[in-house]
């Protein structure tokens, strides 16, 4: 197991912005990602410029003000295992001020260049679709924060809960070459992706493989609490350590705003093998939100 994989990014210590991934640092084209902690009444001023941006509430509460509107969370979560995210989409050319409200704030946000303007959108936990997907010990929970058809250029955002011992992002799939059907439907886009991990107990970890079919890329990494794994290409399955529920937040950006993908042909039979859902799910619901 490689401890020095360039795909595994450790959080910065003693820094408010404890993750910062850009196309330059990741050696890719589309996606930028940051995670930030703020104390009560701290202010972050920013401008989206030519980018669209999605801000995800991990814990705490915030208020955002800009020339396109203002939004405030009133029922944030104490951590990602205590409810569902609030999600704010901001279009390009937006100057905004974000203020931390009530205790420490933890947020993650991703951005990418946008070709046209969309309306800002604030999605509450109650309005966030929750999907229980997979089966047997590959059952997991999706909270679709910015799903396909959301109304944006190319960002897709999803938080995923994988119960202790279960497999996730499985059967293994990829989205690294643009494939269209005869009628122009996107069967597979080119998308870069970040996996931002948190665990119900800080000692927990996951194991993630990132590989291409020809094994020109074949990495196995062990992300821990607050680590990021970058997915530039290839298949990328995950398994959660037994005894520790796993959370990861996915940001995707690329050629299309969709979740189409190609399954590893060796794994396709698995879809028909599941006989039941894991009864531990859902791990979180909007009713749990109370900060």
DSSP string, 130-175: EEEES-GGG-EEEEEEE-TTSSSSS-EEEEEEE-TT-EES-S-EE-
Taking residues 98-114, report their average pLDDT: 96
- Cβ atoms of 24 and 192 within 8 Å: the answer is no
Q: What pLDDT score does 103 carry?
A: 84
DSSP state letter for 241: P
Give 216's contacts (C-beta < 8 A, 6+ positions apart).
Answer: none
Span 142-169, average pLDDT: 98
Q: What is the mean pLDDT of residues 181-203?
A: 97
Reported as a single tens digit per residue, the pLDDT across 196-219 is: 999 999 899 999 999 999 999 999
**What pLDDT sits at residue 25?**
96
Average pLDDT of the residues in 80-109: 97
In total, the chain counts a number of residues equal to 291
- Are the CB atoms for 76 and 86 separated by under 8 Å? yes
- Across the range 117-144, mean pLDDT stands at 98
3 state DSSP class of 266: helix
The pLDDT value given to residue 291: 66
Residue 149 — very low, low, confident or very high, per pLDDT cuts 50/70/90?
Answer: very high
Q: Which residues contact 13 (CB under 8 A, 6 or more apart)?
A: none
**Residue 2 pLDDT:** 44
Residue of 30, 65, 67 whose CA lies nearest to 51: 30
Q: In what helix (H) or strand (E) does residue 26 lie, and over which residues does it extend?
A: helix 23-26
pLDDT band of 35, cuts 50, 70, 90? very high
What's the rounded mean pLDDT across residues 165-182?
Answer: 98
The pLDDT tens digits of the residues spanning 258-276 come to 999 999 999 999 999 999 9
Fold of 8-281: Jelly Rolls (2.60.120)
Contact between residue 237 and residue 167 where contact means Cβ atoms under 8 Å apart: yes
Residue ranges per structural domain of the chain: 8-281
pLDDT value at position 172? 98
Per-residue CA distances from 51 to 46, 101, 121, 253 (Å): 12, 26, 15, 11
pLDDT of residue 3 exceeding 70: no
Helix (H) or strand (E) holding 10: none
Q: How many angstroms separate the CA atoms of 276 and 178, rounded?
A: 33
Mean pLDDT over 156-169 rounds to 98
Q: From CA 236, how far away is CA 212, in angstroms rounded?
A: 9
Percent above pLDDT 90 for the chain: 96
State the pTM of this model: 0.97
Instruction: State the burial class of residue 176 (Cβ atoms within 10 Å of its Cβ: 0-12, 13-18, 19+).
Output: buried
Residue 68 has pLDDT above 80, yes or no: yes
What integer is the mean pLDDT of 97-124? 96
d(CA 150, CA 128): 11
């Amino acid at each position: 197991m490689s401890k020095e994989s360039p795909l595994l990014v450790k959080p910065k210590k003693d820094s408010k912005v404890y993750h910062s991934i850009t196309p330059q640092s990741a050696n890719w084209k589309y996606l930028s990602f940051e995670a930030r902690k703020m104390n009560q009444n701290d202010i972050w001023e920013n401008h989206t410029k030519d980018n669209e941006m999605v801000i995800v509430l991990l814990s705490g509460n915030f208020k955002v003000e800009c020339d396109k509107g203002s939004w405030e969370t009133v029922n944030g979560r104490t951590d990602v295992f205590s409810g569902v995210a609030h999600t704010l989409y901001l279009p390009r050319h937006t100057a905004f001020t974000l203020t931390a409200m009530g205790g420490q704030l933890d947020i993650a946000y991703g951005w990418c260049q946008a070709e046209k303007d969309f309306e800002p959108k604030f999605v509450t936990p109650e309005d966030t679709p929750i999907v229980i997907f997979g089966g047997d010990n590959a059952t997991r929970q999706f909270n679709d924060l910015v799903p396909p058809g959301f109304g944006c250029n190319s960002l897709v955002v999803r938080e995923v809960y994988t119960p202790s011992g279960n497999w996730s992002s499985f059967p293994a799939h990829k989205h690294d070459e643009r494939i269209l059907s005869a009628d122009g439907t996107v069967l597979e886009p080119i998308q870069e992706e970040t996996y931002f991990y948190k665990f119900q107990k800080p000692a927990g970890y996951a194991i993630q493989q990132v590989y291409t079919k020809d094994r020109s890329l074949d990495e196995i990494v062990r992300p821990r609490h607050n680590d990021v794994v970058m997915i530039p290409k290839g298949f990328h399955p995950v398994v959660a350590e037994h005894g520790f529920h796993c959370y990861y937040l996915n940001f995707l950006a690329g050629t299309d705003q969709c979740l189409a993908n190609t399954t590893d042909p060796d794994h396709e039979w698995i879809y028909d093998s599941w006989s039941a859902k894991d009864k531990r799910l859902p791990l979180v619901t909007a009713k749990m939100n109370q900060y």
